[in-house]
Amino acid sequence: MKLPALALAFAVSLLASAQEARWTQMSQQVEQLREQGRIAQAIPLAQQTIQVAAATFGPQDRRVGLSLDVLGVLLTEQDDFADAETSLRRALD
């Protein structure tokens, strides 16, 4: 492998690692908000975790499914059953 290609591969790896850390941090914050009963604040952040996971790892990545599952639970706690069902079904896909 040539040096520029190796440097590019390393840069891509660092970016993915940074996005993994961002997704993990956001997911932990969603859980903290949920535990504090701050569901309305947790929902938009949970939606962002889905976007970060899909953009970084692809729409079929397990992190997308996990984020969709968490969003579905949050929506259920808000009695938004139709949107919760949509999110949970997407998580299963």
Rounded to whole angstroms, the Cα distance separating 37 from 48 reads 19
Instruction: For 37-88, write each residue's pLDDT tens digit.
Output: 999 999 999 999 999 999 989 999 999 999 999 999 999 999 999 999 999 9
72 Cα distance to chain centroid: 12
The two three-digit tokens of residue 80, written as one number: 């938004």
Residue 23 has pLDDT above 70, yes or no: yes
Confidence at 32, pLDDT banded by 50, 70, 90: very high
- Predicted pLDDT at 93: 86
Element (DSSP H or E) covering residue 27: helix 3-35
Confidence at 8, pLDDT banded by 50, 70, 90: low
pTM: predicted TM-score of the whole model, two decimal places: 0.81
